[in-house]
Structure formats: structure tokens, C-alpha cells
Amino acid sequence: MSSGKGHIVGGFVFLWLFLTVLSNYFFVPSAMEIVIYAAIAIMFSLWPDVDIKSIGQKLFYSIFFLTDVALIFYFKELETAAYFGLLIILPILAKHRGWTHSRITAVLLPTPLLLVPMGMYGGTLLEGLPYYFAAVTGYFSHLFFDKKLI
Ligand SMILES: [Zn+2]
């Protein structure tokens, strides 16, 4: 299974496993938390194929484009926009199923999600863990269905 739609389905399967473990061993998430975890997991289940023409590439490069436009025209942050532009080229320069399909990247790339509660409302790192693990779950679903885990 390597199509974008296949990875979305795979992301939902892994999301179901994540929510089952979360609600049985930690806490029962609210409906809004489930929606957020689902959005994060599905986005990360698509992310690794950003290095080839795919649904993930269209989605993320659309987000990158809008972010760069906002940095340039709304925030007037030209230097930040230049560095952002430099960074977002990297996945396209890499070989397919290279660093975007690495287990190390799957663990490291979502780490900024740990900081979201701190930045949004002065929360703790512990409160960021479910967002982080939702992302890692989605990421590993992609690697699993690309047979990069075995
Ligand atoms: Zn892939």
C-alpha cells in the first residue's frame, strides 16, 4: 500500500489503535481532542511522501506556500521567509524513501508538538505528549505500510 488514499486508511487504523491505548491506559480524550489527534495522525501519515508527487506533497507544499506568502506579505518577515523557503526544498532534493522514511525522523520531526501546549496556554510538556504520539503514530503507520519498519 503506497498510495495517498492507502496511507490515509492506514493512518486511521493506527489512529484507532492509538485512541484505544490512550483511553484504556491513560485518559479518555474529549471529542475535540479526538478530532485534533486524528488531524495530526492523518497529516503525519501522509508527510513522508512529501519527497514525491503525492497527496502529501500537494497538501504540505500548499501549506508551505501559504505560510511563505503570509511571512512575506503579512508579517514582513523576509529573512524568516528565506530560511523557510530553504528548508522546504530539502524533501524534494532527497531521494525517494530517504530521510523522510526514516524511523529517526519519525521520532524527531514531531517533537515541536510537545511544545504546543506551552506556547498556546502555558501548559506543560506532559500535556504535549498525546499530540506528539498522535503524530508519531501517523508517521509509523506510513512506514509500516511502506514496509520500512520490518
Ligand atoms: Zn512512502
In the chain, what are the domain boundaries? 4-145
* Sign of CA pseudo-dihedral 141, 146, 149, 150: positive
Say how many Å lie between the CA of residue 10 and the centre of ligand 1: 12
Say how many Å lie between the CA of residue 139 and the centre of ligand 1: 10
Say how many Å lie between the CA of residue 68 and the centre of ligand 1: 25
What confidence tier does 46 reach under pLDDT thresholds 50, 70, 90? Answer: very high
Among 14, 32, 46, smallest CA distance to 133 is for 14
Backbone angles phi, psi at 142, to 5 degrees: -65, -50
Say how many Å lie between the CA of residue 129 and the centre of ligand 1: 25
Backbone angles phi, psi at 95, to 5 degrees: -75, 155
What confidence tier does 129 reach under pLDDT thresholds 50, 70, 90? Answer: very high
- Kindly give, in sequence order, each residue whose CB lies less than 8 Å from that of residue 132, ignoring residues fewer than 6 positions away: 110, 111, 113, 114
How far is residue 111's CA from residue 60's CA, in Å, rounded to a whole number?
A: 18
pLDDT for position 117: 87
